[in-house]
Chains A and B, each alone.
Chain A
């Protein structure tokens, strides 16, 4: 199921592009915000929760998920270099699964690690906030990667759609339409964080059982479907 050569090509392509700069910029920004907030406001559980929930989980994790998830396959399909993977006796679902693992790894590295760091800077993990949001970031990394990898496989405008989902659906609709929150990776991951953090510090609109089912379901279905789409990927038609 996992091919180390595909993995090597994927992470080198992912980290070698200019787009990868965003992977570094966002975590640095988060840590900078954490330092500034701590310096001006001191250690406060609610403020810490606000920064981690409002910026780290709501903005940074999905954005990094978009870059890593779509970037793990989209550019290769765009420039045609995916041919060198497809013209091999390697099962197409193996290619997808491997790319998913790489995308998850990259998303976790660039979102969960800085979230943890920022949490400790903000209030020294008071009320388990740093750990809770880090777990949320880890969980969200998996679902986002699967979702955006699928998007990268089926669409040439994956980054745009990914940004629309991450910013418009999750951030805007999520805050305006309560129902939309049920269908939000962010809320599912927060429901996991809710269990870890101190009373009332993290809230989610989705119960943990439902969130778990949806997280696992979305990840599995998106990955399976991406594998099917890659099996039927047509590389031509531009004559």
Chain B
């Protein structure tokens, strides 16, 4: 059982506050650190990894301070987001070096490479690897010493769907084994597929914490806005407003479109095509007008 505790921690860079009075506890299992780009996820992970001192507050691993404490790395494995990784080495040489730095031998490196299924390319130079292969070798380097904590910064960035699934499967396994796995992402679906527990940060603040279903509901239950164009806007508007899933409709005559505010996301998306078909109306455009991640998150912060 290894727990990372972030206690009233802030971190600023000059005048910019990257992390603002955040407290959270990350325990065994897979935790997703979710937030838009620039929310402070990397800053948080860097403080948990001991690469950055908190400006105020404490970041500890099982009660021991992480900053300036090399001993914590016996328990922590880190998969950084940055790509720099001794490209002139082969995958095997790289992982063996990482094992040696932990006082382990080549056999540990071999096991880690097998875990990430990279044995087939281990004798090629890292410079020749694809993004997904690099990511897996980074994983292997983080796993050589069988750490109880695994920290991953945006691990799925730039991976193709198959690599993404493999990595998710691996992280799920690590979590199920009782390791404390924390990964950051700005993509809700990624986090939802993998993490049982979610921490949301927005603009440096801790916006939400808990089970992903609850957070997902918070996110999907907010009012949604849609821009809809059809063969008969007024008839469609009349039919839709009769249903409680729709809170308001504006007919935008200059744009030739309906601006619809839906309160029940699931019900509205099922209703719209049904209503259109029943009234013989053709839908030309259906586009969510405030689906940007930032607006989703800012709604969450306000909630």
Contact = CB atoms under 8 A, between A and B. Distances in A.
Interface in A1-51: 3-6, 8-9, 12-13, 16
Contacts of A83: 51, 78, 80, 82, 84
Contacts of A6: 101
Interface in B42-78: 42-43, 46, 49-53, 68, 70-71, 73-74, 76-78
A81 B101 contact: no
A21 B235 CA distance: 76
Contacts, number: 90
Contacts of B43: 236-237, 239
A88 B101 contact: yes
A9 B86 contact: yes
A177 interface: no
B88 interface: yes
Given A5-B97, A236-B46, A12 B89 contact: yes
A80 B82 contact: yes
A55 B275 CA distance: 88
Contacts of A3: 101
B120 interface: no
B112 to A, nearest CB: 13
A84 B102 contact: no
Interface string A143-160: 000000000000000000
Nearest to B82: A80
A172 interface: no
Interface residues of B, number: 37
A5 B52 contact: no
Contact of B84 (A76, A232, A239): A76
A153 to B, nearest CB: 15
Given A13-B88, A89-B73, A234 B82 contact: no
Given A6-B101, A235-B52, A81 B89 contact: no
A196 B97 CA distance: 43
A89 B78 contact: no
Contact of A87 (B42, B68, B76, B84): B76
A5 B101 contact: yes
Interface string B93-104: 010011011110
B66 to A, nearest CB: 11
B220 to A, nearest CB: 28
B70 A88 contact: yes
A12 B103 CA distance: 20
B40 A87 contact: no
B141 interface: yes
Which of A6, A9, A76, A239 has the most B CB atoms < 10 Å from its CB?
A239
Contacts of B42: 236, 239
A157 B228 CA distance: 55
Nearest to A78: B84
B97 A8 contact: yes
Contact of A234 (B51, B80, B98): B51
Contacts of A79: 82-84
A86 interface: yes
Nearest to A82: B84
A135 B91 CA distance: 41
A84 B73 CA distance: 11
Contact of A232 (B53, B71, B77, B141): B53
A233 B52 CA distance: 8
Interface in A129-176: none
Contacts of B51: 83, 86-87, 233-236
B101 A85 contact: yes
Interface of B: 13, 18, 37-38, 40, 42-43, 46, 49-53, 68, 70-71, 73-74, 76-78, 80, 82-86, 88-89, 94, 97-98, 100-103, 141
> Which are the 8 A-B pairs with shortest beta-carbon distances?
A79-B84, A80-B82, A81-B84, A236-B46, A80-B84, A88-B101, A5-B100, A235-B51
Interface of A: 3-6, 8-9, 12-13, 16, 76, 78-81, 83-92, 231-237, 239
7 contacts: A5-B97, A16-B88, A80-B82, A87-B49, A88-B70, A234-B52, A236-B42
